[in-house]
Amino acid sequence: MRVLIGGGSGFVGRELTRLLRDKGHEVTVISRQPGPGKITWGELESQGLPPCESAVNLAGENLMNPLRWWNESYKKDLFSSRIDTTKALSNAIAASSSPPHSWVLVSGVACYKPSLTAEYTEDSEWTPFDLLSKLVKEWEASALLPESVAKTTKQVVIRPGAVLGRDGGAMKQMLLPFWLGLGGTLGSGSQPFPWIHVSDLAGIIAQALEPAADAASPSPQVLNGVAPALNTNYEFTKELGRVLRRPTIFPVPGFVMNTLMGSERAVVLTQGQKVIPQRTLESGFQYKYPDLTSALKQIVGS
Ligand code: NDP
């Protein structure tokens, strides 16, 4: 099948592209930069959807960009880079004379209110309560297809936790301090830490891109893109230290995180949610890395 990947040049997109090409699929990336195997967002808007059987959007300004201060312009970019690209793709799908059979948006678990006790499945009700949950609400809304198109195009929303892999995401920034023995828990450490190995997230996306087995539904199917293991930040920290054979004795207090990162953003590290991938498991998806030890050993050993 021909797959269109918005933001496919990034951390998750590179892994997904590798997986899809290995399965014999053809990939076209939508990017801000032209290049081989790519179209630009401007071309998508001016020329419409290129021929494809499925599409996914992964584009978005990095939430953990270490080079940017947490200010209004950064927040505006976080919103517009996700919502405008998702809207551009959903509009192009709606306007296409041969829309794809599946359309997948990868959003995030920030929609679920951080809690030490609540457990969230894909069926959990939620209403926006802070900046990042508002972002998820608007982002997912911008992916919705008109009912007439949703009859033939399967809509899926995947909400990943922190994506763990060697080449990007949180691990890229964490590995050096942990290697140097400077790692430690963030905030209290007791907060849940929903995570997924990048290879499993690519697998869940690839499965969602396949044609629907059942009749299409007007509302998107939601899948929590997290590993089934429920871990805390303390467990993650200790396991990473153990796998690297390094001490993890330098906790970073919550107020330091808030000062360095801005409290609206630090919340993804200093607080967390227990997220259960109920529908993902029910879909029959087989995780390669269901627990922290296997995931971290693969990442650190590779
Ligand atoms: P990346 O940070 O690697 O970015 C993906 C792509 O987005 C980039 O390659 C870039 O493509 C495009 N992009 C970056 N900034 C902008 C911008 N300002 N405007 C338009 N496009 C932009 O993302 P990941 O691969 O890590 O994540 C994929 C998706 O999953 C994102 O939407 C992210 O929010 C979400 N997610 C990721 C998590 C993680 O831990 N990584 C956790 C939860 C959700 P190009 O330069 O080619 O235009």
Question: According to the model, what pLDDT value does residue 194 have?
Answer: 98
Q: Do residues 10 and 63 lie in contact, with contact meaning Cβ atoms separated by under 8 Å?
A: no
Q: What is the pLDDT of residues 230-242, one digit of tens each?
A: 999 999 999 999 9
| Probe residue for ligand 1, chosen from 4, 5, 12 as the CB with the greatest number of ligand atoms within 8 Å | 12
User: What predicted TM-score, i.e. pTM, was given to this entire model?
Assistant: 0.98
Amino acid at 64: M
Q: Whose CA is nearest to atom 35 of ligand 1?
A: 107
Q: At 254, list the tokens.
A: 């919550």
Q: What is the pLDDT of residues 176-188, one digit of tens each?
A: 999 999 999 999 9
Q: What is the pLDDT of residues 223-273, one digit of tens each?
A: 999 999 999 999 999 999 999 999 999 999 999 999 989 999 999 999 999
Domain parsing of the chain, residue ranges: 2-301
| Probe residue for ligand 1, chosen from 29, 39, 62, 159 as the CB with the greatest number of ligand atoms within 8 Å | 62
Q: Which fold has domain 2-301?
A: Rossmann fold (3.40.50)
ipTM exceeding cut-off 0.85 for this assembly? yes
Q: What's the mean per-residue pLDDT of the chain? A: 96
Which residues have CB under 6 Å of ligand 1?
Answer: 7, 9-13, 31-33, 58-62, 77, 81-82, 85, 106, 108, 160, 162-163, 168-170
Cα separation, 213 vs 20, in Å, equals 19
Q: Which segments of 110-220 are extended strands (E)? A: 119-120, 154-160, 162-164, 195-197
